[in-house]
């Protein structure tokens, strides 16, 4: 991610339940018993990072994120620390027992190499656990690319920032890890008005809004919002918003 985009913790947390579930499900496949040092890459506002400290009472847990706005919300804890840094360049100073990254590496150009370098940083018996959204071909993103291409033609939105489970399997296995990789499509049911637009405002829309002059944003949002309403019509139960996520866990 070479662009500087602002993160809004309040907007991101509007769907905290849907966003925390994949983190929990990723961690079910990590078998570390009593790790001493755990790192959460792209930890956001850190409330999920704090769950790592609860799960492993002997561990020092360090969350790393490049957004000061997100880290400003991070919880305090005796064994919990947070570092403002870019995970393309930040590296741990000692071997790590568990490296976790949830919903962050899709923002990092060249994240495959970043993963290889964090695998090199794993301790003996170490674990790597990664989750990324795999929804870049979904209507929400396709429509965003289509509308944004007319409003901010200078902005290129990547169509394929992440790998499939087989890609992560190959990457982690080539680095010598035992691998468990899978994907899940969550059939999310979102409440309220324009919920898909509100969801995307918390994540994928941010680079587009950052590139648009504030005065042009309302008209852009009206056009994109109308396209989303047509693609994801609301029903009596709410708005169905299928969301594919890709998971990979490796053990040294
Ligand atoms: C969608 S949030 C995910 C937060 C949390 N891990 C979760 O599962 O809810 C993505 C986070 O990745 C961070 N991020 C994106 N690129 C980064 C980079 N190059 N270095 C560090 N953090 C980055 C953002 O600042 C943001 O807080």
Q: Do 42 and 107 touch, CB atoms closer than 8 A?
A: yes
H or E stretch covering 26: helix 16-27
Query: 147-160 as b/e, with b when 16 or more CB fall inside 10 Å?
Result: bbeebbeeeeeeee
pLDDT > 90? residue 26: yes
Q: Where are the domains of the chain?
A: 9-251
At 7, the pLDDT band (50, 70, 90 cuts) reads: confident
226 CA from centroid of ligand 1 (Å): 28
Summarised one tens digit per residue, pLDDT across range 176-211 is: 999 999 999 999 999 999 999 999 999 999 999 999
* pLDDT per position as a tens digit, 203-234: 999 999 999 999 999 999 999 999 999 999 99
Identify the sign of the CA torsion 73, 78, 80, 85.
Answer: positive
CA–CA separation, 40 and 90 (whole Å): 12
As a CATH number, domain 9-251 is: 3.40.50.150
Nearest to 169 by CA among 55, 59, 247: 247
Residue nearest to atom 13 of ligand 1 (CA): 42
Return the structure tokens found at 6.
């602002």
Phi, psi dihedral angles at 108 (to 5 degrees): -110, 110
* H/E run at residue 99: strand 96-102
- The pLDDT assigned to 5 comes to 65
* pLDDT at position 2: 39
Closest Cα to atom 4 of ligand 1:
44
- Please tell me the distance between residue 63's alpha carbon and the centre of ligand 1 in angstroms: 10
| CA–centroid distance, residue 208 to ligand 1 (Å) | 17
CA distance 229 to 195: 9
Summarize pLDDT for 77-122 with one digit per residue, the tens.
999 999 999 999 999 999 999 999 999 999 999 999 999 999 999 9
* pLDDT value, residue 160: 87
Q: What is the pLDDT of residue 165?
A: 98
Sign of CA dihedral 10, 65, 137, 216: positive
Residue 247 has pLDDT above 60, yes or no: yes
pLDDT at 4 > cutoff 60: no
Determine the Cα–Cα distance for residues 133 and 143; give it in Å rounded to an integer.
17
pTM of this prediction exceeds 0.85: yes
Q: What is the pLDDT of residues 108-167, one digit of tens each?
A: 999 999 999 999 999 999 999 999 999 999 999 999 999 999 999 999 998 889 999 999
List pocket residues of ligand 1, CB cut-off 6 Å.
Answer: 1, 7, 19, 23, 42-44, 48, 65-67, 70, 86-88, 102-104, 107-108, 203
Number of neighbouring beta carbons within 10 Å of residue 15: 19
127: phi then psi, degrees, rounded to nearest 5: -125, 145
């Amino acid at each position: 991610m070479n662009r500087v985009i602002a993160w809004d913790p309040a907007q991101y947390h509007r769907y905290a339940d849907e966003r925390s579930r994949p983190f929990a499900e990723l961690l079910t496949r990590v078998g570390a018993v009593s790790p001493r040092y755990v790192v959460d890459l792209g930890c956001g506002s850190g409330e999920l990072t704090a769950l790592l400290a609860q799960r492993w009472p002997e561990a020092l847990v360090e969350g790393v994120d490049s957004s000061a706005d997100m880290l400003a919300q991070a919880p305090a804890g005796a064994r919990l620390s947070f570092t403002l840094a870019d995970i393309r360049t930040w590296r741990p100073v000692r071997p790590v027992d568990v490296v976790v990254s949830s919903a962050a590496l899709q923002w990092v150009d060249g994240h495959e190499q970043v993963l290889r370098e964090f695998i090199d940083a794993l301790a003996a018996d170490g674990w790597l656990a990664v989750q990324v959204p795999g929804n870049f071909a979904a209507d929400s993103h396709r429509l965003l690319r289509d509308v944004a291409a007319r409003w901010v033609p200078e902005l290129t939105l990547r169509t394929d920032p992440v790998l499939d489970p087989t890609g992560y399997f190959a990457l982690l296995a080539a680095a010598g890890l035992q691998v468990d990789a899978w994907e899940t499509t969550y059939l999310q049911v979102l409440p309220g008005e324009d919920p898909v637009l509100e969801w995307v405002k918390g994540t994928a829309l941010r680079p587009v809004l950052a590139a648009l002059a504030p005065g042009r944003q309302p008209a852009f949002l009206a056009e994109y919002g109308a396209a989303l309403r047509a693609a994801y019509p609301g029903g009596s139960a709410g708005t169905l918003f299928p969301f594919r996520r890709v998971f990979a866990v490796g053990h040294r």
